[in-house]
Structure 1
Amino acid sequence: MFVNLLIILAASLLVIALFRHLKLPPLLAYMSVGLALGPGSLGWLQHHEDMPLLAEFGVVFLLFSLGLEFSLPRMLALRRVVFGLGSLQVIVCTLPLAGLLHLAGLALPAALLIGGGLALSSTAIVTKELSSLGEVFSSHGQNSIGVLLFQDLVAVLLLTMIPVIAGGSEQAWYWALPITLGKAALLFAGLLVASRWLLPRLFHEVAQANAPELFVLLALVIVLLTAWLTHLLGLSMALGAFLAGMLLGESHYRHQIEADIRPFRDVLLGLFFVSVGMLIDVSLFASHGLLILAMTLALLLIKGSLVALLVRLRGGDNEAAWRSGLTLAQGGEFCFALVAQAQQVDLLPAHLSGLILAATFCSMAVTPLLLRAAPQMAARLSQRPHAEGRAEEIAGACAEHEQHVLICGFGRVGQSIGRFLRREGIPFVALDNDPIRVQEAAAGELSVHYGDSRRGELLEALGASRARLLVVAADNPEHALETVKQARKLSATLPILVRTRDDSHLASLQEAGANEVVPEVLESSLMLASHALVMLGLPERRVQARIDEVRLDRYHLLHGFYHGTSANLLDQQGRPRILLHAVNLSADAYACGRPLEELRLSELGVELQAVRRAGDELTLADNPLLREADALLLTGPLDAIERAEARLLAGTQ
């Protein structure tokens, strides 16, 4: 075992460095190491009885980390996706795949079992890639996570059914099913009790001791203990770890826990992907290469198209449907375990199991590349060019805008300018290329769109030729320069104000047509907002009065910002940043039908900035009765915002 680990770590070090140079994801490097060095190829790595268990802990840590990002109220909000879309996906994908296996010579019960295994997707790959791309909370990300959670339950049931179908168990399936579900409910109840009363006290005591190693040990013990308890109950260790992480996600220590276990998670997850690659016999690719390719394409096409169809039928738009389909199209790690156990009890011939494992491996290997190309592929599959379709949507939304302000880059600075413009009643539209920030901002703003401001067609769709001012607040100077050039092509008279980090690009921006360039090292976002107001024709005395008012109010107007994919949630001193977050009330939200004061949000550590209804801002002093589709803008630290969201949506906290 020691020699195996040494070879794996040394080879992974070299291959990951090569893959990073080629801009390929690390998990492909790990799987390539297992494929190249495993028993079916060079033979440097040999199967060891402890290797699968050690590798499975990588998935356990990954699911625990993912659980930390999902609070219980958010999970309750996902119940329709988990049990609705999840159950439909498993059923609809299992039937055609089982039919093909039955035509290939498998008995019908075995075909249904293996077809169900192929219907499952890779929890490890999808969750890791969605996290790295910042798409966990996008619409297709939420669909994928919800379906994967249901698939984990199904995987446990399928593994339980193998002895029943093979005739080696005395327990009938109609007894095995409710017993397994009962165990899952018992586990959830036990973890819920522990997370409410026991674990907060433990973490508090450890934090008081001010010993970092104790905190790390406690985090590791919790992850491994929940996995062990789940294993004792005959359930998936990854499922138990996710439940534990989800319940701990409501604690104040979630970010510290996630930071502590990240190194263990990444290394163990790498071992998991190496073990996946070791299961494949390379000689199969030489002897049955075309058949494996056909099986891989069939798996991806069948699952991807069926998932997209289900999402579309449930009311999702075309892009979200196809991106959900591409995300869940691959086979999963549970299929490897299912095929291996089915082969042991003679449910599956050896030659067919090898082909299934090879096709599943190939589908998993191409998934990271599919997810990176998903936006363009989804746009083509939905039968419209990506940029053109985006421009048409934006043009339709901005058709009535005249004499407005364009803000390119809706980060902290862009948002500060937008708040001043809103206070003065000046209409504005913003464009940003961070999908998470746009999703966050769009929940509370009616004028924030996703797109690359360097594209002339998008600026034209935003009405650049009709605008009063263009503010380029992008952080990248090259992007800002290209945006100015594209805007100047559309209008020779449009005033352009540019924010830069320093004055190194001052001359090039002025040559491209920028009227004002404000270096960030000399001017704060407050001063940039004052320039924008002066350029819009407001009296300087009035602008100065506004600036003085904000300063006198200790910059209350500028508190919080919509976080994006790469936002750091801690300041340089390690303290939580003050964030701005919009909560949209659904029809079954706890806050609907209740007066604002009854919710007592201030006692949770957040401040309510505004309540917006159909584009209008309500007067908070009137204690309005909240309704469906109201957007509440909250500011505060992340943990306080999550507590407030839990109260608004589910009535907890």
Structure 2
Amino acid sequence: MPHDVDLIILLAVGFGLALIFGYIAARLRLPPLIGYLFAGIIISPNTPGVVGDIHLANQLAELGVMFLMFGVGMHFSLKDLMLVRRIALPGAILQIAVATLLGIGVTMLWGWSFGSALVFGLSLSCASTVVLLKALGDRGLLDSVNGKIAVGWLLVEDLVMVLALVLLPATAVLLGGVSLNDDSGQNIWLTIGITLLKVAGFIAFMLIVGKRLVPLIMQFVARLGSRELFTLTVVAAAVSIAYGSYAIFGVSMALGAFFAGMVVKESDFSHRAEEETQPLREIFAILFFVSVGMLFDPRIIIEEPLHILAVVAIIMIGKTLAAMALVLFFRYPLNTALTVGASLAQIGEFSFILATLGVALKLLTLEAQNLILAGALISISLNSFIFTAVEPIQRWIRERSHLARLLERSGDPLAMLPDEVDQSNLRDQVVIVGYTPTGRHIADQLQAQNIKVVITDQNREVVENLREKGIAAVSGKPTDPNVLIQAHIMHARLLVLRTMDILDIHQIVNIAKQLNPQLQIIVGAESVEEAKVLREENIGQVYFAQEEMAKNITGDILTHIERVHQSSH
């Protein structure tokens, strides 16, 4: 077979098997990337049958890494992270430390060097963004408080891993590995200093020049009205910045692609850029996972079953329990702890990238890489079952009062109104459930009229910020009667409910009406159909945003026509 068709063979067989195994994984309700990894295993040199070119696969994997990191950068939201920073920042860093220490402890017992143990532990500490977003999206949790905490937590993990990818080549010699550059005789601290200066220079360049230049170019191309040119602009920005970061600043292409995604996100055309490059990013992500599968040697499962069990235990038990303990320590409810724990009970793309870099730096052996790949395959496969177990575990704990008292937020100051609020004088107030932009606007307007307001929100950081401003606020899930009791719903004149699940609306209204039969209720509906159902049930005054906007626009149009009509006469 001529050499020049190796790429075509790899793509044809790789994509074909990825499609078949991805479909099988989806039918089994597993993430399709499990199927892509299996497709790579089938065409790997370690298994019989068709063998793909591993060198070509590695180059395609590099492209896959760049587009994966570009996607991570486009999804990175500093605003979302700031909303949950008080739990996500310390929680993620402490959880990474715990998982890394567990990995170091176990591998040192196996007789590994400290450098190998450190890289191995770091590889087990970071969950997969792809798996997490899919799992939360499938369960409708992405926009929930629990989902935002899990995503914010993972964003911090991603940043830590990006930093590790930057620092690892500089510290490889110190850790017992080899340098990828010709600076082996250079002082190690000087190497680290130069690396950090290069990274700082690249970040400064991207924030000062890239943040302005890339959106400007996108705006210029968008005016031409050519869809393919716009897509090409975004792809060229991703690849050029990634390569430029490596060639000019000497930092990793992964970091360059990450910042390329961040600056594209700053553009007014970010949604269009994300939508139009998504198919391409997904194709290269599939190639990345196929190439990772090609590196895996299935013999490790037979040769080192106890080592694999230890790895899976660190990922799915050690890491999960550490995350849950930290969430409970920050006084979030049990449901949040279980959701975050389930979200992080797997490893993925950053683990593969770190493992590959570790092998290149001679810090990890191929056996270590195979253990990481086996841990990823097993943990991702079982992750959906862990999510399914969240509700039964929660019920089991709550049926045992001693456990529930120990784990739930007993005596939580944010679950009660603060002492500064004169509760004896708290009458005829408006209780607002959920401090959304709409809720914020309503609260500001009411307070401007000297009308008392109490706000309930599930995000503890929102409640803390409100209390710092002197606004009465209670933390907790509004379907919990204690939350409405703490908001003094029995003395309120009005309850305002944001758009939420219709079953939750019914539950909250039933609790509120039992406590205060005279209470007036205003509800925001998510859709026309939901608004119709709620109105038929006579729950209260129901508003649907698009409907109200249409009424206001129609009113303005009629007023304008009337003025024109009067002026013409």
The two structures share one fold, judged by TM-score above 0.5: yes
2:142 aligns with one of 133, 141, 149: 133
Who is 1:239 aligned against? Answer: 255
The structure-2 alpha-carbon separation of the partners of 1:208 and 1:448, relative to structure 1 and needing over 3 Å to count, comes to farther
1:155 aligns with one of 160, 165, 172: 165
Who is 1:52 aligned against? Answer: 58
1:524 maps onto 2:561 in alignment? no
2:409 aligns with one of 368, 389, 395: 389
Aligned partner letter, 1:61: F
CA distance in 2 between partners of 1:389 and 1:150 (Å): 30
The structure-2 alpha-carbon separation of the partners of 1:245 and 1:499, relative to structure 1 and needing over 3 Å to count, comes to closer
Query: Please, what TM-score do these two structures have when normalized by structure 1?
Result: 0.61
**Structure 1 range deviating more: 7-16 or 101-110:** 7-16
| Residue 221 of structure 1, CA deviation | 0.5
1:505 aligns with one of 524, 533, 536: 533
1:544-592 Cα shifts (integer Å, max 9, x gaps): xxxx9xx99xxxxxxxxxxxxxxxxxxxxxxxxxxxxxxxxxxxxxxxx
Contact kept, 8 Å, 1:66 with 1:127, in 2: the verdict is no
The structure-2 alpha-carbon separation of the partners of 1:238 and 1:488, relative to structure 1 and needing over 3 Å to count, comes to same
Any idea what SS the aligned residue of 1:210 has? coil
Any idea what SS the aligned residue of 1:151 has? helix
Query: Please, what TM-score do these two structures have when normalized by structure 2?
Result: 0.69
Q: Which has the higher helix share?
A: 2
Who is 2:564 aligned against? Answer: none
The structure-2 alpha-carbon separation of the partners of 1:67 and 1:373, relative to structure 1 and needing over 3 Å to count, comes to farther
CA distance in 2 between partners of 1:20 and 1:81 (Å): 33
1:209 maps onto 2:224 in alignment? yes
Aligned partner letter, 2:450: G
Any idea what SS the aligned residue of 1:49 has? helix
Aligned partner letter, 2:284: L
1:299-348 Cα shifts (integer Å, max 9, x gaps): 455555667888999xx556799987776665554544555566678766
How well do the aligned residues superpose, as a CA RMSD in angstroms? 5.5
| Residue 464 of structure 1, CA deviation | 3.5
1:145 maps onto 2:165 in alignment? no
The structure-2 alpha-carbon separation of the partners of 1:194 and 1:388, relative to structure 1 and needing over 3 Å to count, comes to closer
Superposed, which structure 2 residues align to 1:27-38 within 5 Å? 27-28=33-34, 30-31=36-37, 34=40
1:226 maps onto 2:241 in alignment? yes
1:33-79 Cα shifts (integer Å, max 9, x gaps): 55677666685674532323333434423433443466899999999
Contact kept, 8 Å, 2:324 with 2:338, in 1: the verdict is yes
| Residue 151 of structure 1, CA deviation | 2.4
CA distance in 1 between partners of 2:66 and 2:48 (Å): 29
The structure-2 alpha-carbon separation of the partners of 1:443 and 1:202, relative to structure 1 and needing over 3 Å to count, comes to farther
Who is 1:358 aligned against? Answer: 374
CA distance in 2 between partners of 1:199 and 1:345 (Å): 34
The structure-2 alpha-carbon separation of the partners of 1:253 and 1:444, relative to structure 1 and needing over 3 Å to count, comes to farther
The structure-2 alpha-carbon separation of the partners of 1:227 and 1:444, relative to structure 1 and needing over 3 Å to count, comes to farther
Superposed, which structure 2 residues align to 1:36-185 within 5 Å? 46=52, 48-68=54-74, 94-119=100-125, 122=128, 133-134=142-143, 138=148, 141-159=151-169, 165-166=176-177, 170-171=184-185, 173-185=188-200
Aligned partner letter, 1:211: S
Contact kept, 8 Å, 2:415 with 2:475, in 1: the verdict is no
Who is 1:464 aligned against? Answer: 489
1:222-248 Cα shifts (integer Å, max 9, x gaps): 101111223436532221112233344
Q: Which runs of 5+ in 1 are unaligned?
A: 529-547, 553-653
Count of residues paired in the alignment:
525
**Structure 1 range deviating more: 340-349 or 251-260:** 340-349
Contact kept, 8 Å, 2:81 with 2:152, in 1: the verdict is no
Any idea what SS the aligned residue of 1:246 has? helix
The structure-2 alpha-carbon separation of the partners of 1:452 and 1:251, relative to structure 1 and needing over 3 Å to count, comes to same
Contact kept, 8 Å, 1:207 with 1:215, in 2: the verdict is yes
**Structure 1 range deviating more: 40-49 or 176-185:** 40-49
1:504-553 Cα shifts (integer Å, max 9, x gaps): 5368624xxx3x4547599738999xxxxxxxxxxxxxxxxxxx9xx99x
The structure-2 alpha-carbon separation of the partners of 1:144 and 1:487, relative to structure 1 and needing over 3 Å to count, comes to same
| Residue 484 of structure 1, CA deviation | 3.5
Who is 2:430 aligned against? Answer: 405
Who is 1:537 aligned against? Answer: none
**Structure 1 range deviating more: 436-445 or 132-141:** 436-445
1:273 maps onto 2:282 in alignment? no
CA distance in 1 between partners of 2:95 and 2:24 (Å): 37
Superposed, which structure 2 residues align to 1:176-575 within 5 Å? 176-192=191-207, 194-195=209-210, 198-232=213-247, 235-285=251-301, 288-289=304-305, 291-303=307-319, 330-331=346-347, 333-336=349-352, 339=355, 351=367, 353-363=369-379, 389=409, 396-397=416-417, 400=423, 401-408=426-433, 418=443, 421-430=446-455, 446=471, 453-472=478-497, 474=499, 476-497=501-522, 501-502=528-529, 504-505=532-533, 509-510=537-538, 514=539, 516=540, 518=542, 520=544, 524=548
Any idea what SS the aligned residue of 1:105 has? coil
CA distance in 2 between partners of 1:13 and 1:246 (Å): 31
CA distance in 2 between partners of 1:196 and 1:285 (Å): 47
CA distance in 2 between partners of 1:5 and 1:437 (Å): 49
The structure-2 alpha-carbon separation of the partners of 1:370 and 1:218, relative to structure 1 and needing over 3 Å to count, comes to farther
CA distance in 2 between partners of 1:254 and 1:192 (Å): 17
| Residue 276 of structure 1, CA deviation | 3.3
The structure-2 alpha-carbon separation of the partners of 1:106 and 1:518, relative to structure 1 and needing over 3 Å to count, comes to closer
Contact kept, 8 Å, 1:430 with 1:449, in 2: the verdict is yes
The structure-2 alpha-carbon separation of the partners of 1:217 and 1:321, relative to structure 1 and needing over 3 Å to count, comes to same
Contact kept, 8 Å, 1:90 with 1:120, in 2: the verdict is yes
| Residue 219 of structure 1, CA deviation | 1.0
Q: Which runs of 5+ in 2 are unaligned?
A: 1-6, 560-569
**Structure 1 range deviating more: 491-500 or 36-45:** 36-45
Aligned partner letter, 1:230: S
